[in-house]
């Protein structure tokens, strides 16, 4: 257990501007964002498409460093995992190799690859190449890769978008199960409100017009209530003021 696990995450983005291009003036895509995230909370960032959710996630991940502000994820020891919107598996490596590559050579967690493949329902597909699998199965492999590294912070960018409902539902339940087994700090981006309520312990809403966070709500659902559709709907109505 490193100290990093117990320190809250501090995310401060004073301003993020996309440079002017042609006729368009430079516009801030993000401004005045200050979030403190407690360890092992499941934070969902939600809002309409184009509101800057993914940009914020890339800044938190360290993939985008052109912004004013500061991101504190604990320390250099903090392991950050990222589950992307597209699975981003290496098509020329098998499912097992893709997962193994996320681990440093000689890491004892290599022994757990079969276990995690079974947990995501991919036992028997370990030696398949990703392109021979359905999108849902590729997403499972991507989840397995994200979880095998046991990251202190796990970033997820709409990982279940463009799947049919039952598949997405199954993957959400799988994610809840994996997270309950090993709670880690998750920042999850989605535009789907029901998904946000089902998964998150805290929901941050962003708006495109303001380029910032406009509301911050706690989700009052126990783990068992999260798979109950009526409970989720009621909570969604409460948080998003829907009727």
Partner 1 sequence: MPARASVDQPWQSRVAWGLGSLALFLVFWEVMALLIQHRHLPGPGLVFAAMMREFASGELTFHIGMTLYRVVVAFILAMLIGSAIGIAMGRSSRIDRIFDGWLILFLNLPALVIIFLCYVWLGFTEVAAITAVAVNKIPNVAVTVREGARSLSRDLDEMAHMYRFGWWKTLRHVTLPQLAPFFLAAARTGLSLVWKIVLVVELFGRSNGVGFQLNTYFQLFDVAMILAYALAFCIVIQLIEFGILQPLAARVNRWRR
Looking at residue 241, the DSSP 8-state letter turns out to be: T
Q: What minimum distance in Å lies between the beta carbon of 159 and partner 1?
A: 13
What are the distances in angstroms from CA 165 to CA 98, 121, 237? 26, 18, 20
The site for partner 1 (CB under 8 A) is made up of 61, 63, 80-82, 84, 86, 88, 90-93, 97, 101-102, 104, 129-132, 145, 149
Q: How far is the CB of 238 from partner 1 (least distance, A)?
A: 35
Rank residues 145 and 205 by Cβ distance to partner 1 and give the closer one: 145
- Output the smallest distance, CB 51 to partner 1, in A: 21
Shortest distance in whole angstroms from residue 90 CB to partner 1: 6
What does the block give as tokens for 223?
A: 């783990």
Alpha-carbon gap, residue 81 to 146, rounded angstroms = 6
> Token pair of 169, please?
């539902």
Judged by CB, which is closer to partner 1: 74, or 130? Answer: 130
Nearer to partner 1, 78 or 232 (CB): 78
Q: Which is nearer to partner 1, 48 or 75 (CB)?
A: 75
Please, what is the minimum distance in Å from the beta carbon of residue 155 to partner 1?
8
Complex with partner 1: residue 93 or 202, whichever CB lies closer:
93
Indicate the residue among 98 and 119 with the shorter CB distance to partner 1: 98
Q: Minimal CA–CA distance to 113: which of 132, 135, 97?
A: 97
Please, is 147 exposed, middle or buried when counting C-beta atoms within 10 Å of its C-beta (0-12, 13-18, 19+)?
Answer: buried
d(CA 124, CA 209): 48
Query: How far, in Å, CA of 134 to CA of 136, rounded?
Result: 5
Q: How far is Cα of residue 76 from the mean position of the Cα atoms in its chain?
A: 20
Nearest distance in Å: CB 72, partner 1: 18
Integer Cα distance of 88 and 98 in angstroms: 10
């Amino acid at each position: 257990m490193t100290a990093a696990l117990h320190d809250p995450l501090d995310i401060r983005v004073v301003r993020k501007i996309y440079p002017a291009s042609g006729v368009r003036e430079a516009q801030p895509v993000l401004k005045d964002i200050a979030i403190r995230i407690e360890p092992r909370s499941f934070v969902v960032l939600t809002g309409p498409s184009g509101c800057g959710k993914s940009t914020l996630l890339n800044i938190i991940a360290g993939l985008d460093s052109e912004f004013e502000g500061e991101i504190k994820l604990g320390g250099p020891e903090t392991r950050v995992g990222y589950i992307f919107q597209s699975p981003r598996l290496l098509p020329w490596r098998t499912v097992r190799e893709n997962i193994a590559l996320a681990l440093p050579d000689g890491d004892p967690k290599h022994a757990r690859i079969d276990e995690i493949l079974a947990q995501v329902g991919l036992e028997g597909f370990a030696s398949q190449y990703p392109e021979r699998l359905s999108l849902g199965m590729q997403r499972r492999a991507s989840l397995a890769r994200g979880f095998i590294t046991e990251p202190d912070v796990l970033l997820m960018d709409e990982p279940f978008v463009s799947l049919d409902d039952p598949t997405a539902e199954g993957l959400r339940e799988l994610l809840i199960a994996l997270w309950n087994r090993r709670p880690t700090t998750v920042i999850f981006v989605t535009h789907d409100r029901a998904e946000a309520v089902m998964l998150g312990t805290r929901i941050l809403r962003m708006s495109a017009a303001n380029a910032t966070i406009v509301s911050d709500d706690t989700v009052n659902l126990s783990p068992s209530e999260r798979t109950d559709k009526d409970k989720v709907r009621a909570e969604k109505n409460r948080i998003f003021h829907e009727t």
